[in-house]
Structure 1
Amino acid sequence: MRIDYHTHHVRCGHASGELEEYVLKGIEIGLTQLGLSDHMPLLHVDPAAYLPGMAMPMEELPRYAEEAFRLQAKYKDQIDIRVGLEGDYIEGYESEIRRIIEEYSWDYVIGSVHFLGEWDITDYRQTDGWKERDAYEVYVQYYDAVRKAAQTGLYDYIGHIDVIKRFGFKPEQSVEHLEREALEAVKAAGLAMELNASGLRMPVNEMFPSRRMLEYAYELGIPLTIGSDAHQPERLAQYLDQAVDLLKSVGFNELATFKERKRVMVPIGFE
């Protein structure tokens, strides 16, 4: 099995490439399964008044779903396409998120935390936000949001669970207890999580999550899937061979896949 469950395309505003380009690239590099998983539209901020290119406009969501399912059928004999959504968790907007999720027949929904209030902690244009805040308190708020996302029942797996470290901002004191509490919430909710390889091209230069978190996830028995978080077709499956090697070294021997919101475990491999 060669899989990549985390991808973005031009509709989200900060990626390039049409959906079909990702499909053709997946066929070219020999993926068994390709997950299409673009960002949910913004719910809690006015897109017109916010920074450009944060997520797909709401009117594009049905077009995204329609095109993704059409490509799933068109290429079914060449590649197994799974149609998903990265359903950004926004505290206080759970009902709105649920309506979007339940409106379409997704194969899977990723639960990711990008926003703390109106601050997107994953946006390189907003790193000045760290100057105004205590780093430890940011980590406390972030992992509290991850726990709440896991408890909603909205998601199939948690995405890039420690993406808070993306730009290298870290408090002086240990946050291991916060990481463990988040992982325990994932386990208690019966969710999977991903090893997101894109951290290797970020300032932190480490996958999401760290080996330390992976080892605790393995101890807890949390299922893992993998994703490149590609925002360009040429980055599809980038670093996933290294991700699989890391998972194997920790002890994982299966990967989580998803179809019609049901998890199916498959033997690990990226040969």
Structure 2
Amino acid sequence: MLIDYHTHHVRCGHASGELEEYVQKGIELGLTQLGLSDHMPLLHVDPAAYLPGMAMPMEELPRYVEEAFRLRQKYKEQIDIRVGLEGDYIEGWEAEIERIIQAYPWDYVIGSVHFLGEWDISDFRQLDEWKNRDAYEVYSQYYDAVQKAARTGFYDYIGHIDVIKRFGFKPERGVEHLENEALKAVKAAGMAIELNASGLRMPANEMFPSRRMLELCHEWGIPLTIGSDAHQPDRLAQYLDQAAALLKEIGFTELATFNQRKRIMLAL
């Protein structure tokens, strides 16, 4: 069972490669399932006045969905394609997010927190924001947003749940209790999370989430899926062998997959 449920392509503005290139690469790698999951368009900031390449333009969203379903049909004998969306959670914009999610027949929707207000905490161009903020307060605000995302019921799983550590900024105080509360919200919502391997190529030098959080997921019965968060076709499935090995070592025996918004557990 080899899957990759987290991928991005050229439409999002900060990735390269057409959707079909990802499909062809997935076939080459022998993936069982490939999830196409590009970013939801920006809602709460004016894309024309913001930093370039932040997300897919709104007018491209229907074209993305149409192409993804066309490719699923074209390659159905070679690879099982699941059509998804990485749907940002932005506090105060829940109605607009829900409209996008309900407008298309997704197989799955990833709930990810990238924005705290207009600050994209995952953007290397916005690192100066850390200089003006207390790191513990940033972590508190971030994990509060993750909990709120879980409670909306919009999403099938939470993406890179501790991505706040991406650039290596950490408070002097421990944040384990913040992480635990986020996981409790996921558990209460009956959701899964992903093991996102992309952290291994970032300053954090650790997958999202940490082993400690993964062990809690195993103890609490929170299902896991995996994704590379590839932004180039050549990074498809990158580090997923290590991700799968870590899950097996912890004791996971199944992976969460999704079809028409239904979770299906398959042997790891």
How much does 1:236 deviate?
0.2
What TM-score, normalized to structure 2? 1.00
Partner of 2:23: 23
Question: Which letter does structure 2 place at the counterpart of 1:128?
Answer: D
Q: Where do residues 180-191 of structure 1 align in structure 2 (5 Å cutoff)?
A: 180-191=180-191
Q: Where do residues 146-165 of structure 1 align in structure 2 (5 Å cutoff)?
A: 146-165=146-165
Structure 2 Cα separation of the partners of residues 175 and 247 of structure 1: 23
Question: Which letter does structure 1 place at the counterpart of 2:204?
Answer: V
Deviations 1:175-232 (A, max 9, x none): 0000000000000000000000000000010000000110111111000000000000
Structure 1 Cα separation of the partners of residues 196 and 181 of structure 2: 20
Structure 2 Cα separation of the partners of residues 85 and 202 of structure 1: 23
Say which SS state the counterpart of residue 207 (structure 1) adopts. Answer: coil
Q: Where do residues 75-224 of structure 1 align in structure 2 (5 Å cutoff)?
A: 75-224=75-224
Structure 1 Cα separation of the partners of residues 32 and 26 of structure 2: 8
Partner of 2:229: 229
Partner of 1:57: 57
Structure 2 Cα separation of the partners of residues 168 and 217 of structure 1: 23
Structure 2 Cα separation of the partners of residues 220 and 113 of structure 1: 22
Partner of 2:261: 261
Say which SS state the counterpart of residue 11 (structure 1) adopts. Answer: helix
Structure 2 Cα separation of the partners of residues 187 and 250 of structure 1: 18
Deviations 1:41-74 (A, max 9, x none): 0000000000000000000000000000000111
Which stretches in structure 2 are left out of the alignment for 5+ residues? none
Say which SS state the counterpart of residue 47 (structure 2) adopts. Answer: coil
Structure 1 Cα separation of the partners of residues 107 and 185 of structure 2: 23
Question: Which letter does structure 1 place at the counterpart of 2:33?
Answer: Q
How much does 1:169 deviate?
0.1
Structure 2 Cα separation of the partners of residues 216 and 172 of structure 1: 23
Deviations 1:122-167 (A, max 9, x none): 0000010000000000000000000000000000000000000000
Question: Which letter does structure 2 place at the counterpart of 1:217?
Answer: C
Say which SS state the counterpart of residue 87 (structure 1) adopts. Answer: strand
How many pairs align? 268
Deviations 1:8-51 (A, max 9, x none): 00000000000000000000010000000000000000000000
Say which SS state the counterpart of residue 48 (structure 1) adopts. Answer: helix
Structure 2 Cα separation of the partners of residues 215 and 54 of structure 1: 33
Structure 1 Cα separation of the partners of residues 88 and 56 of structure 2: 12
Structure 2 Cα separation of the partners of residues 218 and 171 of structure 1: 26
Question: Which letter does structure 1 place at the counterpart of 2:78?
Answer: Q
Which stretches in structure 1 are left out of the alignment for 5+ residues? none
Provide the alpha-carbon RMSD of the alignment. 0.3
